[in-house]
Amino acid sequence: EELEKHGKLPSAWKSFAPIVIPIILMALGSIASFPSHPFGEGAFKTICNFFGTPVNALLVGVAFSFLLLPKFDSETLNGWIGESLKDAATILVVTAAGGAFGNVIKEIKVGDYIGQSLSGLSLGIFLPFIIAAALKTAQGSSTVAIVTTSALLYPLLPVLGLNSEMGKVLTVMAIGAGAMTVSHANDSYFWVVTQFSGMDVKTAYKTQTVATLIQGLVTIATVFVLSLFLL
């Protein structure tokens, strides 16, 4: 029935190429940037650096996705592009808005205020988690939460008793736990899940948002238990 509906399905390599090839290109770009220069410093390194840039790698992936078209004509192409834009528009808008809001928070030093307010409390390994979770929940970007929390906490590690090598490892784990707590409407990943799974927002809040809260709490609890034995 599916075969009759969609016609002949593409081969495995055509199906996976738009996903796998950009990953390979970005991996090669990262390797080419190693200080040891594993690819030398000639043309091959330049090519790897160019196509390893995420935007360029994804453009190559888009080019390979055209191989999946059953027939390459304007009607099919316009249909695919229109459907893609319809699904991706919300994600792109929310991602852009979240990025802008994240920059606003960064510029007005909210992270600094949170860090200074909480640094006087004896929270230990929970402090990195709380700051990262507050930033993640406020502006949606895990990357901003990780980078900002790391910059805030580094000078405070001796005060928190986390200045040892193992303390730094546990701090990174605690920041990671906080940076995924919680995913909701200001997080582009939230909309990726809802849009492509057909899930309505109410259901997503009950499932994905709650799930990210649980995973964050379970992770920080695990980190705390580890700290009892390793610090």
**Domain chopping of the chain, boundaries:** 2-68, 93-230
Rounded to whole angstroms, how far apart are CA atoms 74 and 215?
46
User: Model confidence over 23-34: pLDDT tens digits?
Assistant: 999 999 999 888
Q: Is the pLDDT of residue 80 over 90?
A: no
Number of neighbours of residue 225 by Cβ within 10 angstroms: 10
Whether the link from the prior residue into 182 is cis, omega within 30° of 0, is: yes
Given a contact cutoff of 8 angstroms between Cβ atoms, the answer to whether 53 and 29 are in contact is yes
Residue 74's pLDDT is 78
Q: What is the mean pLDDT of residues 41-61?
A: 91
pLDDT score of 112: 65
2-24, pLDDT tens digit by residue?
A: 555 556 777 888 889 999 999 99
CA atoms within 13 A on the CB side of 23: 5
Share of the chain above pLDDT 70, in %: 87
What's the pLDDT at 38?
85
pLDDT at 88: 76
Model confidence pTM above 0.85: no
Q: Model confidence over 126-170: pLDDT tens digits?
A: 989 998 998 898 888 888 888 888 888 888 888 788 888 999 999
Q: Is the pLDDT of residue 202 over 80?
A: yes
Residue appearing with tokens 């939460």: 145
